[in-house]
Copies of this chain bind each other. A is one copy, B any other.
């Protein structure tokens, strides 16, 4: 399995690689910052669900925890830093296969002495996370006294905002450095413990506890320092006695008791553990993950080099961004790799990230929906606040389940004016997106118990929202003043994406709430009278009531620099809104989610029409275009879109991912391979395949969970082969042809 590699040390890429090479387990994320400090290097460690609302702020932020990765290395008093001396050799790589981050350097220090330094770091895959690091230093030409200082550094902030009170720093059980922290506003309790071997002199001051270790370096012999740390929070404790429902049972123990429990748990986790043990343990767990978690490609084309790496990168990050079984937390827009979007949860989770889990680990997908169910009450309160019924889920959410979208965007530094963020007020499609995810969960699992207990209520309350949201005008229900997924168009009426999804939402809610006759009656009326934009005589489905009347401009310049929102430098937002300019295409998104809604002709025509008007400034855009282009038969274009989507994080832009990787884009890379090139369609009665392999690929294979079956699909130019885990019969369709799968592998020509 290919590594994610960095072959040159460059300060300008330091935060991009800090995100790309981050490690974690869905509960904890640790940025791949270097052990030594560099100007502008952003360290970061985050726990899922640990948010805090800082003084003077309207929204909760994912808390940047005290740092444990930093190490200060002095060689006879000479500070180790790659800014100094000369880098003779440098290589860093994240082994996606085993989760191990390794950096090897041959360094000539400013005094002319030669050293080899090898750094390794690994993050445990289970909650209450263990983190191991090891540094091995070899002086290549003379005896040197090395001093390594490392510990727990509570001076870490979210870009200057401190979220934690340091309750206590102390040394426990002889040589464990321990820090107790509590978030200032949200009262989350965190304990971090660490020990180094060999041991050193431990001191504590200014929110830091550190061990200073002396290593005598004999020429040519490596000396090694290991550090093993553990990070726990009170969310770990509560997870043991959790009940889905209106509120989770909060233990009413005193802070002191909680800290004592956390500390004794942390120390027990660390006892007798060393770096090698953890490295092996983690490697095993990653091996297990990759056994089924991967889309495997075979290609002889050099141009396809990025494809496998991008798919592996996507699976790796999907795995480390997602909490597995704690419905109090979901997945933020940057996972746990950075502070972008303050760690908030958007529609990205249900629409772009959940499918990977739905078809690999349905329990994890269920957890994402339980997160929404758990916050149904807050969603109903938001609806009520704006005069609607049902559940209006927040555009951005965190731990509380309340709306966390900042009311205002960052101030315009030129005008001094604050711009109101409209998303929380109008980007209501998230309600239907969640309903769609509930339905797709049922499609994939047939989990009646879930539907009865949670799914039914989610569908019903989201549908009630739409019934109250639509207004009667010209004899029809219309949905006015919304923002669709395309955020370059604001406050429009009858956005096609929104209206069709709302209808879908209400229809599915009726299906699962047939006993609610009043509701079903109102639902039927809604469906009968809801205005659903149809294709005009030219075949174009209007994105909304006014889009097609707006002027078009030449977007070539902006498309070339897509993803950077350069259009907003030349035009005001108000001007952009008044032109045929799309950040991402709503219709294309709609075609992706509901492939049977329009005829192939209409889809192809609209794809072409809207793509011409789309800058792809959203990281969600390209991969979805790849899927729809593929379904329309234009595999070459689809493959181009796919490859461009692969570069959203992995491309050459040094600052593309400074504040975290694009979580939804990682999900979308997987979607475009499976729902695009493998042509999977999960919206019908049967699982359907209409594969179209890119010319550059000889083979593509992957695992796919479907209704309690684990399928393995192997796709070649001209054939598709299925095998599965049980002997139960499963009916599927390949290019419209019914196929019955049993225990035997089945190969079909295509």
Contacts and interface: CB of A to CB of B under 8 A. Distances in A.
B159 A157 contact: no
Contacts of A170: 411-416
The quantity of this chain's copies bound in the complex is 2
Interface in A144-160: 154-157, 159-160
Contacts of A156: 160
Interface in A608-624: none
Interface stretch (A201-209, A437-445, A663-671): A201-209
A564 interface: no
Interface string A192-211: 00000000001111110100
B165 A56 contact: yes
Nearest to A12: B77
A184 B55 contact: yes
A528 interface: no
A416 B172 contact: yes
Interface in A163-193: 165-172, 182, 184
A717 interface: no
A81 B39 contact: yes
Contacts of A154: 160
A160 B155 contact: yes
A204 B413 contact: yes
Contacts of A168: 411, 416
A659 to B, nearest CB: 9
Chain A interface size range = 35 or more
A206 B159 contact: yes
Interface string A69-86: 000100000010101100
A14 to B, nearest CB: 12
A410 interface: yes
Nearest to A57: B165
A138 B207 CA distance: 41
B166 A56 contact: yes
Contact of A207 (B159, B411, B414): B159
B159 A160 contact: no
Contact of A165 (B36, B55, B203, B415): B55
A668 to B, nearest CB: 26
Contacts of A446: none
A37 interface: yes
A159 B167 contact: no
Nearest to A10: B77
A574 interface: no
Interface in A576-625: none
Contacts of A203: 413
A154 to B, nearest CB: 6
A162 interface: yes
A413 B202 contact: yes
A727 B83 CA distance: 67
A157 to B, nearest CB: 6
21 contacts: A36-B39, A37-B39, A54-B162, A55-B165, A55-B184, A56-B167, A56-B182, A57-B165, A154-B160, A155-B157, A156-B160, A157-B160, A160-B162, A168-B416, A169-B411, A170-B412, A170-B414, A171-B414, A171-B416, A202-B413, A205-B410
Interface of A: 11, 36-37, 39, 54-57, 72, 79, 81, 83-84, 154-157, 159-162, 165-172, 182, 184, 202-207, 209, 410-416
Going nearest first, the 5 A-B pairs with the smallest beta carbon separation are A56-B165, A155-B160, A159-B206, A162-B162, A55-B184
